[in-house]
Structure 1
């Protein structure tokens, strides 16, 4: 097994526009200590995406930021999209807590329009100083939601976001009613977000089907 490695995934998406990507690092009994890395932890030194149409040269997409549900203290998720080759995203959380599904969301600087037939080329680099710190099983998704984040399925509507930025004394009766109705709405069913267009593959190439 390689001590460092790069994965390249080439996919065609049904989305016409993309604002961000989600990477899920998934546990599995076949992995060392059940993953989500090949041997529990992983260090993703770069998450890169390029867009290719026809025979043209792939165009690398620029990211504005990244968030994760957990990052190792010295290996923050932002390190996977910065220019440095010595940073990256790691998820070590102790012997008993590392074996958990983890996710990170990478937000593009600008939405990108996807022409028919275009190919997304996703590159996952594992070039840290740690041996065999490679992703084991994973899933990659894309979204066209305006503000992609970890809670994309439940991102509040634009008017609600605008209201919560204001001081309560400055809100009118109708605005207070709107906030109250929103917070009293039925809970969102615990399902995976419908607005994430997933790319999956067989376990032998590093992904796990949904």
Structure 2
């Protein structure tokens, strides 16, 4: 112990060892390279969540590094966090508005995915609402005179609702080659054979 104390006294001018944080602050290039490399490796390995954390660490230490925010946005897209990715790309654009790829590629794609998510949620809402109306059809809760036109109208309404529900179940929200969000119904060409039964068919059935 005395020997250690003696060694300390023989090097009075030795500078203190730098902390980890100060080393990061002194080496911004190394930090950028580290954050980019770590994110790339984790993405290749399909470790999406750690890739997001690595990108978050990079922008935490260098909040004015626009490339770090773009990297974070892309990692968030891979995780499915579209809203967060939009914010990250917007920050990157604010820091470097002259980088056109941020506008034309990253943010534009994220906004398109955001529209797709909203359209998908709306489709699911309509599907669930239509299913409820089928299971609890108001037309089936009334008493009808089976010789009246009200029975025919009720049958048509229920059939139309059932047809709409089946169509919604076959509908997928996609992004086409032009970047437009649209609904596509699977088996759309053959759907004519499964359309809502026409009013004439019900009339014919009543006459049997």
Q: TM-score range by the shorter chain?
A: under 0.3
Hey, which of these two has a bigger chunk of helix by percent?
Answer: 2
> Normalization by structure 2: what TM-score?
0.28
Q: Which has the larger radius of gyration?
A: 2
Q: With CA pairs under 8 Å and 6+ residues apart, which has the higher RCO, 1 or 2? A: 1
Hey, which of these two has a bigger chunk of strand by percent?
Answer: 1
> Normalization by structure 1: what TM-score?
0.28
